[in-house]
């Protein structure tokens, strides 16, 4: 994605713990999510070794040397030959982006796709790889040429503090976290980076509810996305002496944020719904999603640190949705922020008689 972890000792794979990832009688077909948001597909008889090679840049693949993997998005095991594994690999490589996202969300869908192509599914089964995801701490982020596409003073200012500070480790983390509230007030809770912004922009046009200062909307707009931003209390809209009706977090706007509550989500079902850190223990997110679903909305994009936003009603709603993709954000130290994208399109009913008995 937008940055590459700084050099230093990386967490390797415990070969004893992940012994199941090497089986001389099996081959593995795998999909890696790379730092630029793309998918790389390959096959191997030793998943632990191959993934470590991709992470270190020592694999033969030129692609993953340029765009390092951030996680194993999907993996399947088969008891067969390398030739069979290569056939399955080519089936995945021939899929478009949406089809790849579907098999990442539901790995069992690959079996039918392979059977349609070859008349045989080769006995493949989804396989869970317990490999630790690379930490995405903002202190490890390095600017790349891709970052130059955006005007992003939030990221630049945070990285400037990191670059000029003589502190490291816990000392640097404490320094940043002491400044986090001020940054969140001036910009946003989450730090946008080019990888996440470009991924969200693919789902343009967008409608953001609870847009706050509009900082994420600004970044998305600069990345080419068509976005409409709403907040029930846009910064600067209230009279300066009447604090009761002002935005509790932000004083200034970075984008044109329109005054409007969660009901506005129901007016734009043709746009993907973006919720970035909706307020915790508050029904706003659940109401926005309900208005959006009732109007026929098709895509939800939710950014949060697990358990730190929205309410239980919203979380119950999300549990029933089909997730297309998830990605970790480059976060403040101690936070594990995540972007999740959901497909809200109702699945067609099974043909009569199918699935019975």
Which string of DSSP letters, residue by residue, matches 87-114? HHHHHHHTS-HHHHHHHHH-TTHHHHHH
Cβ proximity of 296 and 269 under 8 Å: yes
Mean pLDDT of 278-300: 96
For the chain, give the mean pLDDT.
84
pLDDT at 325: 85
Q: Bigger pLDDT: 239 or 47?
A: 47
Mean pLDDT: which of 62-76, 224-238, 329-343 is highest?
Answer: 329-343
pLDDT digits (tens, 9 = 90+) for 91-108: 999 999 989 989 988 899
Cβ neighbour number for residue 11 with a 10 Å cutoff: 11
67 confidence band (pLDDT: 50, 70, 90): confident
Share of the chain above pLDDT 70, in %: 83
pTM for the predicted model, two decimal places: 0.65
Question: Counting every residue, how long is the chain?
Answer: 357
**Complete domains list, the chain, with CATH:** 19-126 (3.40.1440), 138-343 (3.40.50)
pLDDT digits (tens, 9 = 90+) for 126-148: 987 755 545 678 988 877 777 88
Q: Bigger pLDDT: 295 or 136?
A: 295
237 confidence band (pLDDT: 50, 70, 90): low
Q: Bigger pLDDT: 343 or 348?
A: 343
Q: Distance of CA 296 to CAs 42, 98, 104, 290, 344, Å?
A: 37, 20, 24, 10, 9
Examine the pLDDT at 337 and tell me if it is beyond 60. Answer: yes
pLDDT digits (tens, 9 = 90+) for 209-219: 999 999 999 99
pLDDT at 11: 40
pLDDT at 216: 97
Q: ω into residue 189 within 30 of 0, thus cis?
A: no
Least confident segment among 17-31, 196-210, 214-228: 17-31
Q: Distance of CA 301 to CAs 298, 304, 338, Å?
A: 10, 10, 10
Strands 322-328 and 299-304 come out as: unpaired
pLDDT at 4: 35
User: From CA 242, how far away is CA 264, in angstroms rounded?
Assistant: 25
Torsion angle in degrees (nearest 10) through CA of 254, 259, 265, 270? -60
Cβ proximity of 275 and 210 under 8 Å: yes
């Amino acid at each position: 994605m937008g940055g590459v972890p700084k050099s230093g000792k990386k967490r390797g794979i415990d070969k004893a713990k992940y012994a199941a990832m090497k089986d001389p009688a099996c081959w593995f077909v795998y999909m890696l999510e790379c730092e630029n948001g793309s998918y790389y597909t390959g096959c191997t008889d030793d998943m632990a070794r191959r993934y470590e090679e991709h992470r270190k840049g020592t694999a033969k693949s030129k692609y993953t040397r340029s765009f390092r993997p951030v996680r194993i998005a999907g993996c399947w095991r088969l008891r067969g030959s390398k030739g069979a594994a290569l056939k399955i690999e080519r089936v995945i490589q021939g899929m478009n982006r949406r089809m790849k996202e579907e098999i990442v969300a539901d790995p069992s869908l690959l079996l039918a796709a392979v059977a349609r192509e070859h008349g045989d599914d080769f006995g493949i089964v989804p396989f869970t790889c317990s490999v630790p995801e690379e930490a995405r701490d903002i202190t490890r982020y390095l600017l790349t040429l891709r970052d130059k596409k955006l005007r992003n003073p939030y990221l630049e200012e945070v990285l400037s503090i990191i670059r000029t500070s003589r502190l490291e480790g816990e000392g640097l983390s404490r320094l940043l976290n002491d400044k986090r509230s001020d940054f969140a007030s001036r910009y946003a809770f989450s730090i946008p980076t080019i990888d996440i912004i470009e991924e969200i922009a693919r789902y343009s046009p967008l409608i953001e509810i609870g847009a706050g200062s509009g900082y994420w909307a600004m970044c998305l707009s600069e990345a080419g996305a068509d976005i409409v931003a709403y907040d029930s209390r846009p910064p600067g809209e209230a009279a300066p002496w009447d604090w009761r009706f002002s935005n509790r977090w932000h004083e200034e706007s970075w984008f044109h944020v329109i005054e409007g509550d969660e009901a506005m989500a129901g007016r734009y079902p043709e746009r993907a719904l973006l919720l970035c850190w909706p307020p915790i223990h508050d029904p706003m997110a659940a109401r926005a999603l309900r208005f959006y679903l009732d109007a026929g909305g098709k895509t939800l994009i939710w950014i949060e640190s697990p358990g730190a936003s929205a309410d239980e009603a919203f979380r119950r709603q999300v549990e029933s949705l089909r997730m297309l993709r998830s990605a970790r954000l480059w976060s403040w130290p101690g936070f594990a922020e995540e972007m999740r994208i959901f497909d809200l399109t109702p699945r067609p009913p099974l043909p009569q008689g199918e699935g019975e008995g």
